Structure 1
């Protein structure tokens, strides 16, 4: 296996994410990730060893499920059915060295004969004799057979014979169409099944150049490069942890020896135990950080490969090839971002030190000191991941009518996305919440005992709703498309905006009329007030509240101030965003990169801000009159917007 030094060097050559070495016959999965032929073969065999018959695997990088073709009966034939990525083959030094390889057909009979040609249809290498047979068989005589060396002459040549642009759902079908409704490339069979009711299915042969103008391969390449930088930073922190663990363990050992001199023989057993504990912690942490680095390195190389692949296709391919690879790599970019974000959310700086009880109360039991690890959290997200947000126009991509039973004078004040693409709406005038399915059809509703204002997910099973006139928070659950109440807690003051912090704490905002101030508070899910914070110079009623992904920042929009306030979760103020073109600040939400979206109800716009309050853009085109509430659908990377009118419409804004 290649070392980390090899993988982290400045060489731009693609690297297998399993062995971390140069590709040796790169085989491509349906998710477009590539691995050495022997690497993916070993991986599939390791899965097959655990079950009697393996019919699917998960990609080692992105965990996408790859199913075995129905016609394939063995692991060897499964590997042979995976297409060779001729582009990577053309630029991989290791693969070029293995161009003179064995004939696939002969090798299946354990006969090793050097291959002479390569069938671009069957994707098999073959010797001279097999090539002759192949050219005279009725089923294969029309197949194109090229010299293997032809594939490695240049990326442009490799793209001519590339067969990696076929439909992942239907074997042997080329991708020829693009569905705008689902934002998916598809084949003829897909068009007749999954997309037959779609309104906008385009022929790639005629529309690829137009579609390519809507994409930005160079931007995606730069974002992939940025992700590589983030992974390097992650590895740097882990390496620093490893170095610190070693040096700090030496310091701890010296401290133990110094302590040993100051006390009597009672400490002999303590010294032995503390050293043993130190070695256990040291080895455990070392192994964990090295494993994390190995996984990080694998992901790094996959990102590098995606970037190299897209760069080559962008420089040498035709428009169809450019678009298909760009479209697929764009989805990979989101997946990579999520994986790296998860890493940064979990990483801590570890310190190993000796924690001694000054009172030595447990001296006779030998428990007067112990080894502890302390983690110093660092918020890298705000300084790194926010750079990935593409500053492009926000476009309303769909307007959907809420279908189902109609109530009089409904006034929607908030909404939230639930699992399985369901949506829950707050109908303020009719004192109810409505459950919508993925097609925005009202499938059930629930009457509330007060005036509801804001809603948010509490966990995977429950949502929380603020009842502004009752000083109460209602917990609701959804089971079998039915809303049911689970519990209720009271608050000291009227609560309007509502969101959820870590450890199940609830954060609310509202007016404190007694002090003529606006406030925000943190409550436990039992109703105990943990903290209380005031802001502003008036008791403004209409407010919304939202937290960032790490639950370290609190954003509050208040209608009367035309402002967005930002605080640390501890209560310290960070900034106030005010702008002449933000009037009637209302609904607020954050996307996966912690970019903030605040609605101007009276100015009829959406302000998109960076996490630190810098304005990205102000969006006005296509918005309904009087927008009120906004939420983020992570599964679709989409904003959903509602307005105060009686039109019962939901506006969708794609962020891709």
Structure 2
């Protein structure tokens, strides 16, 4: 039995939910409850009159409008040429929104739309469920007499909360848009459109995939729940995206404050010169912060608008699950699915164009000779932009207080002419392992107990391996630096079968799967101080090529993050880890006094980066941006090399150079 306090809490939650929903039913332009909402292609809705006023404002003195953009997101809603007074009616009424308004018993003073068009204010007493127009008593009679609207359902406004099911049944989406009041009876899968009987006979009789809705009797509850789940995921992504923007804004503000503090420290030595620099940095930093704040607020407002649209769709889906027929549910899902994918495309575009702005201070190294340096050259503020903000799962917290525990290390006893040198080990899709023995020119396929299932011998030394899963089959790609090539193998039926060889431009050490058809390879490019990475297809065609500075010519390993947006390359010779965008932009270079001979690189499910120090015999964990670091394993024996996380992201395997696979798991630190 619930206590009084529990009842009060539940009541408070209901009131809070109702208040939130009421806010979602406000027009973004007039900030009042929607009336006769019109929906743009970007899924944003506005009151009929508000949208009409906006159209008139952009039309100015011209009679025709050639282009209309959404007042909220700026996406193009119309191109062509139409008179300003007719354009608003080209956008459909948001029937879903109206159903929500009815179900929530929104209290507002309504006026007759027909009279209002003639500058007459008459109280509305009825509503046409098809036209979704408010009507006074006299206009209701005329509406029923007109031949075009004689079959329309007229509802009393006071009865709307009780008539929600009737409105759903008479909703325009269940009637033919081409032939007036004829009901929808068919659905053409070839053209993805609902049909009345006349449409079917006239235009779609020869279409092979036409179903009669009366015969469409399967239970659609699973499809309904699936659609709601997809909408929930999209809503969560938008909320997380907006939250990330707020966090990044705080970080940007922190950057400004930290740089100011740094400058104040330098002022103790050269007060007069740094006074000028502090003023400039503060002004420039605040200008950047304010500009970025304005941009992020606008972006988050768009996110909130999309979240509102999703919530409204979910309310209608819930209503459909209670009141709608199977045919109505089928059409409703089809319509919301189209809206979902349209919204997802807008969101993907918004996500891809969102940049993270950070600030850093560049100080002239000749600061000790500041007297001889013009004040304008002492230092400057630079603004850096990253190419994306990844959408990360809820609860994402980089660098949790954890360490890695060694579970087991397996000694692999293969047919060896020399002592082994295991350079890489990875998981296959069925939890088997692939192990590369560089010294003995071997590739081993191991089962989950590390027994050798199959082996392959090379003519030249292999170095790295990755998996490309195509059509349910694992394809292993193995790099051979000396021959400047990549060998592809099928792992079907627990065997290693050669498929083909791909040539690379230079020596290829590190290798990673980019997608089902492309690989990323890296290594030295011939110059003693240069390294390269490139994207190549499985047919050997080079899609892109990039170079970067390094020290000497030696081994590299490469890894991609989960979003396929950042590339990490380790360079043995200069003890460094480099991070790039896929467009070639360099994000950062990581070095550390305790990282010696960096080798294998891998990414966990939270997008954190792990790099193996072979000579330092440890493993470093870095946050995605490289700002936070932690050593999670120390004193690893037998020269660790490659590293690979499993598909769940909570355990990993490393290749002990002289022994075999070593299995580790991440555990939270106690205390």
Q: Which residue of 2 aligns with 1:318?
A: 325
Q: Does 1:572 align with 2:584?
A: no
- Please name the residue that 1:538 is paired with: none
TM-score of the two chains, using structure 2 as the length reference: 0.54
Partner of 1:299: 306
Aligned residues: 448
Alpha carbons 2:176, 2:196 under 8 Å: kept: yes
Aligned-partner Cα distance in 2 for 1:65–1:208: 35
CA-CA distance at 1:114 after TM superposition: 0.9
Deviations 1:180-236 (A, max 9, x none): 2344434456546764442020122x13433x5396111211221222222221222
- 2:37 corresponds to: 27
Deviation at 1:246, TM superposition (A): 3.3
Distance 1:292 1:77 in 2: 26
1:550 aligns with 2:564: yes
TM-superposed deviation, 1:7: 11
* Other-structure match for 1:207: 215
Superimposed CA distance per residue, residues 339-383 of structure 1 (whole angstroms, 9 cap, x where no aligned partner): 444444455554434332333378325222222345678874574
Indicate if the aligned counterparts of 1:353 and 1:372 stay in contact, CA closer than 8 A.
Answer: yes
Match of 1:581 in 2: none
Q: Name 1:240's counterpart in structure 2.
A: 247
Q: Check the 8 A contact 1:178/1:202 in 2, yes or no.
A: yes
**For residue 36 of structure 1, what is the aligned residue in structure 2?**
47
1:296-445 counterparts in 2 under 5 A?
296-347=303-354, 349-360=356-367, 363-374=373-384, 380-381=390-391, 383=393
- Residue 219 of structure 1 is aligned with which of 223, 226, 244? 226
- Residues 202 and 521 of structure 1, relative CA distance in 2, 3 Å threshold: closer
Q: 1:312 to 1:36 in 2, by over 3 A?
A: farther
- Kindly indicate whether residue 120 of structure 2 is the aligned counterpart of residue 111 of structure 1: yes
2:128 maps to 1:145? no
Q: 1:7 to 1:271 in 2, by over 3 A?
A: farther
| SS of match in other structure, 1:11 | helix
RMSD (CA atoms): 5.3
Unaligned runs of 5+ in 1: 1-5, 386-413, 417-452, 455-466, 473-489, 512-519, 536-544, 555-567, 576-610, 616-656
2:423 aligns with none
The structural deviation recorded for 1:308 is 1.6
SS at match of 1:198: coil
Deviations 1:119-140 (A, max 9, x none): 3344322222223334445655
Partner in structure 1 of residue 133 of structure 2: 124
1:88 aligns to 2:96 (yes or no): no
Could you tell me which of 268, 289, 295 is aligned with 1:288? 295
Shift of 1:533: 7.5
Aligned-pair distance for 1:310? Answer: 1.6
Measure, in 2, the Cα distance between the counterparts of 1:282 and 1:24: 35
Q: Which of structures 1 and 2 has the bigger CA Rg?
A: 2
- Compute the displacement of 1:471 (Å): 4.2
Q: Per-residue deviation at 1:280? A: 1.7
Counterpart for residue 229 of structure 1 = 236
What is the CA–CA distance in structure 1 between the aligned matches of 2:323 and 2:101, rounded to whole Å? 15
> Is 1:53 matched up with 2:64?
yes
- Contact kept, 8 Å, 1:68 with 1:78, in 2: the verdict is no
SS at 2:281 equivalent: helix
Listed as ranges, the gaps of 5+ residues in structure 2 are: 1-14, 396-467, 471-486, 489-498, 522-531, 569-580, 583-598, 605-644, 650-671
Q: Deviations over 1:225-269 (max 9, x none)?
A: 222222221222222223333344334334444434432534454
Answer whether contact 1:314 1:322 (CA < 8 A) is retained: yes
Q: Determine if contact 2:256/2:282 at 8 Å carries over to the other structure.
A: no
